[in-house]
Structure 1
């Protein structure tokens, strides 16, 4: 069995079971594929840039849209958690507009939506945000932008998509990920907890293992 095939089996097993695997030295989880930064990364970060995007300092209201608890873990290819990783997210509001001067569409702004947030992982590699379920806008499927920065590595820029969204099939950026397993790793279900409450979504992100030699290299 090839190294690539073993990696894919491990990835599939991990995604199905939700377990952190103790993997042998030859194995590795499939890296989360990179995606474009996009034109709407904030030109100036908001004063309120915490991990709660649906409540803005100085505003009394709550963001429009379906509120979601978005969480996951940042790990390397061996499944080891990456502490002190900076996780940034940004997305359009529930009307399909970014809080960015380059978005000149007629869709309204939402003063109660932060549009950007960041979080630094702890020893377990975990991150969490309170945000809204992303929505589509002309030409794009619903998505959330991610940037993950770990000391000693270039940032990973990627995007997370919504399972079952009709727009996924026609989204050129998502479909540009040719490997079906890698593409599937970017698509996440948003689920209603059995006891009610906010939606839940989990997006685990796999980065390159620092200093790891590629298979077959010397």
Structure 2
């Protein structure tokens, strides 16, 4: 009898886990604040390679990475033609923004801002560098992250941030710590392929 109860409990636990995972997968990607440094300086080059700036011969400093992913709706159908507006700090933790007054250097070979579209099966890809942490004040830093604005007619606009797995500053970051463990997992990229490739899927909600 005890064995039957144990087996029954194990089966029910497994089913519950599958159901819970399915429900979580259909939830929209958690929202996050825009932050103070959304780009306001016009720039012509907004393509998917942030490591180079059109008209310049140099390459951005820092660890070059590739981020790829897919955009889905809450029924897990791929969504094509989504505008993905993304921006971030350079490798030194400096935003290319007039209101960023930190002493960190500006990297003139770093594009800093891109506007791309999701293509076939909702797929997107861009090349960039790992952003540096930027200072918040006395002995505080924001953990490295990339900002996203996601939009398409017929869908709820999404403003979020992508975090990096196992970064030591994640545990100290005020915004990251406010999220539940499940939300943190859905906002954190996964390592794909070699150490310089990341997978980051996004779920948006229909209006």
**TM-score interval (norm. to shorter):** 0.7 to 0.9
Equivalent residue pairs, number: 188
Between Structure 1 and Structure 2, the one with more helix by share is: 2
Report which of the two structures shows the higher radius of gyration computed on alpha carbons.
2
How far does residue 45 in structure 1 lie from its aligned partner after superposition? 3.5
Given that 1:8 and 1:29 are in contact with CA atoms closer than 8 Å, whether structure 2 keeps it comes out as no
Runs of 4+ more than 6 Å apart: none
* Aligned mates of 2:49, 2:68 — CA distance in 1: 12
- Structure 1 residues 43-92: Cα deviation after superposition (integer angstroms, max 9, x where no partner): 13411011110010011010001111111000011110111100111000
Question: Who is 1:176 aligned against?
Answer: 178
Question: Who is 2:94 aligned against?
Answer: 97
* Aligned mates of 1:56, 1:166 — CA distance in 2: 31
Question: Who is 1:111 aligned against?
Answer: 108
Q: Equivalent residue of 1:124, what SS?
A: helix
Q: Equivalent residue of 2:183, what SS?
A: helix
How far does residue 121 in structure 1 lie from its aligned partner after superposition? 1.1
How far does residue 199 in structure 1 lie from its aligned partner after superposition? 0.9
Given that 1:55 and 1:62 are in contact with CA atoms closer than 8 Å, whether structure 2 keeps it comes out as yes
Aligned-residue RMSD, C-alpha? 2.1
In structure 1, runs of 5+ residues without a counterpart are 13-27, 212-218
* Aligned mates of 1:46, 1:120 — CA distance in 2: 18
How far does residue 132 in structure 1 lie from its aligned partner after superposition? 0.7
TM-score where L is the length of structure 1? 0.80
TM-score where L is the length of structure 2? 0.84
